[in-house]
Amino acid sequence: MGEFENFIKSNVWVVVVVGIVLVVIIILVVYCICKCRHNARYDYTALHEDIALPAKLELESKQRQNAVREAALLNCQYYLRSLGQYVLVDQMEDIGSRVGKHWFLIKDVQSRTEKVLSMVPKPHAMPMFFTAANKKTLSEVMTAIQIQHPFIFPLHDIDFVFEQDLIVAIHPYSNKGSLKDLIYKTRCSEAYVSKYNFRSSGLPLQQLQTFGKQILEALLFLSEKGFPSHGHVHSGNVFIQNSVCRLAGYENAFLGLESKLEPILKKKLRDSRDSIDSLCFGHLFYEMSRGFELDTAFPEARHLIKLTPHVAEVLNYIFHSETIPSIQEINQWSFFSPVILPALKLYNPVPIHFTSNMKALLKSVKKGKLSSKKLKRKSSSEAEQPPYSKPGLPFV
């Protein structure tokens, strides 16, 4: 030990050199580690930004959609739990084109029948106030109207969820799907964006006459009972049951939901808002005959050239007359007037009694949108409404 100490004392420079070498080695090791980490991060970033950008955007979009669907599912589960009348079977694909609307397959606990529940956010411009009283009156109107006609699709219930500003509708599950599914020969459970993105062949002439007549008779019935213009006449709102067309979506006029065709028909309807059902029927009739939707507000020569003369005459009458014909006038056109509907012959209507509240609701909705001043005044008074009687739902 003494010899080693003597050696160190006499050779201090050796200790210094060894220390310097160790420091250099440590510095080199640290530098190499940092360099490797920097290169790895650089390579990953380049790959992520340059190569995987489309995949990244698609992934983010899918994650957002999944988050929205999960929130809607949670809302549905809490809503069904508050009712106690139905159980959830499955969350359906987005079977319609309306953004923000969600569909669920449910089962009635007592009857064991399957139904479809839909949820949609409350529109900003409802033509009726979003109150418990109006919800009750609207339900009464829907109940009175749906059991009265063979060409009206039933609506079992309509409800307002005030905590989340949601509108819930429950109607039968039609395993045959909609008229659109028949036209495109698709299954009703498939997603809207994937099952209608091609051109079909259209329907036979006899079906055009029969189905067209049934839809017109349904619209006439609603009009005769004081309903506002339907505004949402399209193939997705017509269901097939026992080879009979039944019109749905008539509640939408009370909710202020924008029509699917309103953006392209807006200019044409500037001076004739009441003609929207006639023009929507014209678009539906074209889709039934050709197997795909009309891509302009009014059909042009290129749209009519491949149609049979009878079908072209109907479309010319609807779209190119001096004035847009009413639903009654279209129903009396020679193409539809000879059609005999056995279900309508057997139809024995029971007089519908509308209460004063029901009449007032129909009248106010037919007048159109409420002014912003009234909406503001009402929004402050709605806080005084009785609380929602069902158990509270979480805001999701």
The CATH number that applies at residue 247 is 1.10.510.10
pTM for the whole structure: 0.79
Considering the domain boundaries, does residue 151 fall inside one?
yes
Spatial contact of 208 and 312, defined as CB atoms under 8 Å apart: no
Classify residue 77: in a domain, yes or no: no
CA atoms within 13 A on the CB side of 371: 3
3-state DSSP call for residue 76? helix
Contact 208, 215 (CB under 8 A): no
Q: Which residue has the higher pLDDT, 33 or 359?
A: 359
Please give the Cα distance from 67 to 84 (Å, whole number): 26
Residue 168 lies in a domain: no
Write the pLDDT tens digit of every residue in 203-237. Answer: 999 999 999 999 999 999 999 999 999 999 999 99
Token pair in block for residue 61? 């979009």
User: Which of 255, 243, 191, 244 minimizes the C-alpha distance to 217?
Assistant: 244
In this structure, is residue 370 part of a structural domain?
yes
Return d(Cα 292, Cα 307) in angstroms, integer.
13
CA–CA dist 394, 69 (Å, integer): 15
Taking residue 185's Cβ as centre, other Cβ atoms within 10 Å add up to: 10
**Interval 327-349: pLDDT, tens:** 999 999 999 999 999 988 888 87
Q: Which residues, including other chains, have CB under 8 Å from residue 389's CB and lie 6 or more apart?
A: 132
- Position 248 scores a pLDDT of 97
Amino acid in the structure at residue 376: K
Q: Are 101 and 68 in contact (CB under 8 A)?
A: no
Please tell me the total count of domains within the chain. 1
Q: pLDDT value at position 388?
A: 30
Q: Which residue has the higher pLDDT, 129 or 7?
A: 129
- Of the pLDDT bands very low, low, confident and very high (cuts 50, 70, 90), residue 394 is very low
Q: Is residue 335 part of a domain?
A: yes
Please give the angle made by the CA atoms of 73, 76 and 79, to the nearest 5 degrees: 155
Q: In the numeric block, which tokens belong to residue 372?
A: 């912003």
Tell me, what's the pLDDT at 13?
A: 66
pLDDT of amino acid 262: 86
Residues 145-189: tens digit of each pLDDT: 876 789 999 999 999 999 999 999 999 999 889 999 999 999 988
Confidence of residue 376 (pLDDT cuts 50, 70, 90): very low
pLDDT at residue 8 in the model: 59
For residue 366, what are its two tokens? 């037919």
CA atoms within 13 A on the CB side of 222: 29
Measured distance CA(198)–CA(60) in Å, rounded: 27
Per DSSP, the residues of 146-178 read HTS-TTB----EEEEETTTTEEEEEEE--TT-B
Predicted confidence (pLDDT) at residue 19 exceeds the cutoff of 90: no
Query: For residue 241, is pLDDT > 60?
Result: yes
* Mean pLDDT (the chain, rounded): 85
pLDDT band at 393 (very low <50, low <70, confident <90, very high): very low
Residue 291 structural domain:
129-156+175-384
pLDDT of residue 300: 95
- Among 87-91, 124-128, 154-158, 329-333, name the one with the lowest average pLDDT: 124-128
Decide if 88 is inside a domain. no
Average pLDDT over residues 125-148: 90
Report the distance separating Cα 374 and Cα 274, nearest Å. 24
Residue 43 belongs to a domain: no
Q: Is 349 left (phi over 0), alpha (psi -120 to 50) or beta?
A: beta
Does a structural domain hold residue 41? no
